[in-house]
């Protein structure tokens, strides 16, 4: 009986551009796959060497795990063959257990490990919190996937709303993580898709529309003109907010990774971390005056701003995201104090700079140009986002009925 075991990257692309890793078991030219619960970009996979390339931030740890899983599968196959000379693929799928175990929380643990290996600190922490919440709802007991039914999920939704007092958006995020882990189990052939409790006429997941409020020009001018020479950190927080606004609401995580080498020929060149879309923007004179305040600071990693200079390696995605999260919280706390000084009644956070750009641009800029400025992959995202800030048509309709 000819058989082989190989680690492969499957060709079914995930929504985030990654592909699932799996153990491929071949017996007499017939093949089955045991999914490992880990996903990679194609560029990070060495198909010949059956290993993760060094370009992945956790390549060493992940490669050790893959070797272990391949050995476990080979041992399981040998054990089956020693007891039965006519081993079938069905026996392989049944007897050789998928990675991580078959219960929900064993697969949830694997899911979180995958997030950590991918360097996704910003996703790992909130996802773990939502998993813990589901476990508390279940009285700290594990659960099999076929026990996750529509009535159970509806009770969980009611628990989140009535006991936890969560918003509808937070409730959806909790259900979404259960669905994601359930999909992982389906792909690993742990549970039959026929028992899937999500979708049409089942438990539907739809995010509610959120209200986005931005500042107006007068309020931005107040932020620009307030004298903060008595507090260098508040001044730094104000600088970061204004730079973000001047560059069409550049996200904080991208802003603090900005390097001096990104500034070329009076333009800023960068790829947005969220979707890796590249582009460049003119450096306004206002922005240049702020950037020049940092030219004499410590030079490390060629970074302009200080938040990530404490790290030895800014290629370590997990630690970069971890430090960015702490810095974002600290800067937002400082911005609250800035808002108090100018008696601003609206919230002032780093993300509000993006809403502010949208609010001031309104319907003045063509939606295709806004898509380019925002770095949205889909123009429908831009249209939906900008709808929060275009009020003229509705205002004119109201005035037509009740007058000014």
What is the per-residue burial (b if ≥16 Cβ within 10 Å, else e) of 32-65? bbbbbbbbbeeebbeeeebbbeeebbbbeebbeb
34 forms beta bridges with 23
H or E element that contains 35: strand 30-40
Rounded Cα distance, 56 and 320, in Å: 14
Co-location of 271 and 386 in the same domain: yes
| Domain-located, residue 404 | no
20, 13 Cβ separation under 8 angstroms: no
6 forms beta bridges with 24
The model scores a pTM over 0.85:
no
Co-location of 32 and 115 in the same domain: no
Which among 186, 229, 197 has a CA at the least distance from the CA of 98?
A: 186
- Other Cβ atoms closer than 10 A to 31: 13
Co-location of 61 and 89 in the same domain: yes
Co-location of 87 and 107 in the same domain: no
238, 226 Cβ separation under 8 angstroms: yes
Rounded Cα distance, 37 and 49, in Å: 20
Of 181, 208, 235, which one is at a domain's C-terminal end?
A: 208
**Sole residue written with tokens 């400025």:** 373
Look at the chain and report how many structural domains it folds into.
3
Rounded Cα distance, 352 and 48, in Å: 47
Domain limits at 242? Answer: 217-396
| Domain-located, residue 402 | no
On the CB side of 315, CA atoms within 13 Å amount to 6
CA distances in angstroms from 65 to 36, 71, 90, 269, listed in the order given:
10, 10, 25, 37
Strand order in the sheet with 30-40: 3-9, 19-27, 30-40
| pLDDT for the residue numbered 82 | 73
293, 243 Cβ separation under 8 angstroms: no
pLDDT by position in tens, the chain (length 404): 577 889 999 888 877 788 888 888 888 788 888 777 778 889 999 999 999 998 887 788 788 888 888 888 888 777 777 766 666 666 666 556 555 567 899 889 988 988 887 778 888 989 999 999 999 999 999 998 989 999 999 999 999 999 999 999 999 999 999 999 999 888 877 788 888 999 989 999 988 766 677 898 999 999 999 999 999 999 999 999 999 999 988 889 999 999 999 999 889 887 765 555 667 888 999 999 999 999 999 889 999 999 999 999 988 888 899 999 999 999 999 999 999 999 999 999 998 998 888 888 766 766 677 666 666 667 676 666 566 655 555 555 555 556 65
Co-location of 262 and 309 in the same domain: yes
Co-location of 270 and 150 in the same domain: no
Co-location of 224 and 245 in the same domain: yes
| Domain-located, residue 401 | no
Which three-class secondary structure string do you get for 183-202? Answer: HHHHHCCCCCHHHCCECCCC
| pLDDT for the residue numbered 206 | 87
Co-location of 362 and 241 in the same domain: yes
Co-location of 117 and 89 in the same domain: no
9 forms beta bridges with 21
20, 9 Cβ separation under 8 angstroms: yes
- Other Cβ atoms closer than 10 A to 302: 11
Co-location of 187 and 223 in the same domain: no
- Other Cβ atoms closer than 10 A to 83: 9
12, 186 Cβ separation under 8 angstroms: no
Co-location of 75 and 171 in the same domain: no
Of 78, 99, 120, which one is at a domain's C-terminal end?
A: 99
């Amino acid at each position: 009986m000819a058989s082989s075991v190989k680690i492969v990257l499957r060709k079914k692309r995930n929504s985030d551009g990654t592909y699932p890793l799996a153990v491929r078991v071949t017996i007499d030219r017939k093949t089955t796959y045991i999914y490992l619960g880990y996903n990679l970009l194609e560029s990070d996979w060495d198909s010949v060497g059956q290993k993760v390339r060094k370009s992945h931030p956790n390549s060493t740890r992940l490669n050790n795990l893959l070797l272990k899983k391949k050995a476990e599968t080979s041992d399981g196959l040998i054990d089956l063959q020693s007891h039965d000379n006519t081993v079938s693929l069905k026996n392989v799928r049944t007897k050789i257990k998928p990675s991580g175990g078959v219960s929900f929380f064993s697969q949830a643990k694997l899911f979180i490990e995958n997030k950590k290996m991918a360097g996704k600190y910003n996703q790992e922490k909130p996802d773990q919190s939502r998993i813990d919440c589901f476990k508390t709802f279940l009285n700290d007991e594990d659960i099999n996937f076929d026990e996750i039914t529509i009535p159970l999920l509806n009770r969980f939704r009611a628990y989140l709303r009535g006991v936890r007092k969560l918003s509808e958006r937070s409730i959806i995020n909790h259900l979404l993580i259960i669905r994601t882990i359930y999909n992982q189990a389906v792909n690993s052939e742990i549970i039959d898709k026929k028992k899937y409790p999500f979708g049409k006429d089942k438990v539907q997941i739809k995010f509610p529309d959120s209200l986005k409020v931005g500042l107006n020009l007068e309020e931005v001018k107040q932020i620009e003109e307030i004298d903060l020479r008595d507090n260098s950190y508040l001044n730094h927080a104000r600088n970061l907010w204004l730079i973000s606004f001047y560059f069409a609401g550049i996200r904080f995580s991208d802003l603090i990774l900005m390097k001096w080498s990104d500034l070329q020929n009076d333009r800023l060149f960068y790829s947005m971390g969220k979707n890796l879309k590249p582009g460049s923007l003119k450096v306004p004179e206002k922005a240049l005056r702020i950037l020049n305040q940092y030219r004499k600071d410590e030079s490390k990693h060629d970074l302009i701003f200080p938040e990530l200079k404490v790290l030895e390696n800014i290629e370590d995605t997990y630690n970069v995201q971890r430090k960015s999260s702490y810095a974002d919280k600290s800067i937002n706390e400082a911005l609250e104090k800035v808002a108090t000084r100018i008696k601003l009644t609206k919230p002032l956070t780093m993300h509000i700079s993006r809403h502010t750009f949208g609010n001031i641009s309104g319907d003045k800029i063509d939606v295709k140009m806004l898509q380019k400025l925002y770095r949205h992959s889909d123009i429908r995202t831009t249209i939906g986002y900008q709808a929060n800030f275009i009020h003229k048509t509705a205002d004119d309709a109201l005035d037509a009925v009740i007058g000014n």
